[in-house]
Amino acid sequence: MRVEVARYAGVCYGVERALKLAQEAAAGGGPVHTLGPLIHNPQAVQALTAKGVETASALDEIDRGTVIIRSHGVDPAIIRAASDKGLRVVDATCPHVSKAHEAAESLMREGYSVVIVGEADHPEVEGIMAHAGGSALVVEAADELPERLPSRRVGVVVQTTQSEQRLAEVVAALAPRVLELRVHNTICAATAKRQESAAELARSVDVVVVVGGHNSGNTTRLVEICRAVNPRTHHVETAEELDAEWFAGAQSVGVTAGASTPDEQMRGVIAAIERMR
């Protein structure tokens, strides 16, 4: 059974940067908290906890020390509140997410009704919403667009881990319904590359294994893309979740991983699959 790894897979620059900032903060001593999970990868978060980086669900849980703004970004009011409490703030927001924040704020200031293509309950989208003034319309697909749009001047921004296809479908549905449409494609280049290479891999192998947090939006998107091409697609966080029955009769297995998946996690899954030969 041949194991093939996607051309682009695993941890991206934004996640590497966030992990590095958190580790540096932990090495500096004193209480260190992330505001929510730093990234959507439970194993990586557990590793940080072992180094003294705790996870807080809200700012009022942190009395002193350092607070790390996670890679998904937050409402800027939260950063101001943290500073007002006397906390040291380390902003680990992914630079690509920051660009989405800037785009949403720019559209709002120029008088556009902002449409965010993304998951309404995802922390990244919540941060983008705050930068859009808190009144943006969030849709995950074209069929979620309301019958009556907020205005005839619409600006679109997109969650960085969404697919190009989903963005294109929403834009195509909006175009004939508005007088002016401005689109900021804020999908991260690393995400796009991982999605393209995942689809390419899924077409060429018998079974696909996608490695990453079950709570990770970008990993879930890879699963959806691969499964649309190859029904024998499976999503795991660790090697312990692998099932030998998945590979029955398979001559080739493709492995890819979300942008929030550390390399050692992906390597562990690959090694376990290879032992099944």
pLDDT along the chain (277 residues), means of 10: 95 94 93 95 95 95 96 95 96 96 98 97 95 95 95 97 94 98 96 95 98 93 96 97 96 96 95 90
Please give the pLDDT value at position 118: 97
Domains 2-10+190-275 and 96-187 share a fold: yes
C-beta neighbour count of 252 within 10 angstroms: 15
Pairwise CA distance, residues 180 & 158, whole Å: 18
- Is 237 one of the catalytic residues? no
Class in CATH terms, 96-187: alpha beta
Residue 25's pLDDT is what?
A: 95
Q: pLDDT at position 217, please?
A: 87
Indicate the domain borders of the chain.
2-10+190-275, 13-93, 96-187
Output the pTM of the full model.
Answer: 0.87
**Topology of domain 13-93, per CATH?**
Rossmann fold (3.40.50)
CATH class for the domain made up of 2-10+190-275: alpha beta
Name the catalytic one among 4, 24, 102, 124.
Answer: 124
pLDDT, position 125: 97
